[in-house]
Amino acid sequence: MAGRGADAMSCTVRVMEAEAARRYTILLVSGSLRGGSVNAGVLRTARDLTAPSVVALPYERLGDLPHFNPDDDRDPLPEAVAHLRAQLAACDAVLFSTPEYAGALPGSFKNLLDWTVGGGIQDKPVGWINASMGGAKGTYEQLRTVLTYTNADIVTGACVEIPVPRSAIDGYGLLADAGLRQGIREVLDALVARVAERRREAGAT
Ligand SMILES: Cc1cc2nc3c(=O)[nH]c(=O)nc-3n(C[C@H](O)[C@H](O)[C@H](O)COP(=O)(O)O)c2cc1C
């Protein structure tokens, strides 16, 4: 009986491992602190659109991060930085959406990115949705530059422009427009496909 119990247990563990290998966790990072943010609305919609195999985890502590200081980038890390790094460690991919302020990345968002240069995002598949109506192309080029420094895996098919007017956000803080939703779905699919590809390369599945 004990042998059968052990067999059943190891079978359960294998099933759980197989299920975990088929799941994908995507961290959603908005570069805006604004209530009613369009970028947060885009990411909220991404969360709404995820397939059952995908867990979308909103990052919600942008405003808690201390100013980046290399002197503080050592143990014990500031609590909010440790939390950020833990969230990055727990995810398979990251999806960003940020506004442009004065022709550049918002300072608070650049601050978050600076905390990732020392670790947390290297080799992680990343993408972004530029929801700006005004272009913000320079800002997303800056994002590409910074993510290149972090050695993130920038997934071409997951880096898109989807202009979103403020009026497109509904009372639930979501995008209802079918075309916009399809664009976001394709970004999620591209990220998941890249994670799956990396897992195959690593022989994990
Ligand atoms: C101080 C300030 C500066 C801005 N600078 C730019 C800019 O340089 N380029 C741009 O396209 N939009 C600019 N905007 C507009 C914001 O990017 C836009 O309102 C965006 O929707 C904000 O993102 P959110 O809705 O996610 O908060 C600026 C807005 C503010 C408040």
Check whether 8 has a pLDDT greater than 70: no
Which helix (H) or strand (E) covers residue 179, if one does?
Answer: helix 178-202
Instruction: Look at residue 82 and tell me if it is in a domain.
Output: yes
pLDDT (0 to 100) of residue 134? 80
Instruction: Look at residue 8 and tell me if it is in a domain.
Output: no
Nearest-atom index, ligand 1, CA of 39: 26
Domain span holding position 148: 24-202
Instruction: Provide the strand spans (E) within the chain.
Output: 24-30, 54-59, 93-97, 125-130, 153-161
Check whether 16 has a pLDDT greater than 90: no
Instruction: Look at residue 7 and tell me if it is in a domain.
Output: no
Mutate to test the pocket of ligand 1, among 132, 164, 167 (most ligand atoms within 8 A of CB): 132
Instruction: Look at residue 10 and tell me if it is in a domain.
Output: no
Nearest-atom index, ligand 1, CA of 136: 11
Instruction: Look at residue 17 and tell me if it is in a domain.
Output: no
Instruction: Look at residue 1 and tell me if it is in a domain.
Output: no
pLDDT in tens, 124-135: 999 999 999 988
Instruction: Look at residue 14 and tell me if it is in a domain.
Output: no
Q: CA 109, 115, 120: angle at the middle one, nearest 5?
A: 110
pTM for the complete prediction?
Answer: 0.91
Nearest-atom index, ligand 1, CA of 103: 8
Check whether 71 has a pLDDT greater than 90: yes
Q: If you measure from the C-alpha of residue 175 to the centroid of ligand 1, how many angstroms do you get, rounded to a whole number?
A: 19
Q: For position 62, which CATH number holds?
A: 3.40.50.360
pLDDT (0 to 100) of residue 19? 54
Total tally of structural domains belonging to the chain: 1
Q: If you measure from the C-alpha of residue 98 to the centroid of ligand 1, how many angstroms do you get, rounded to a whole number?
A: 9
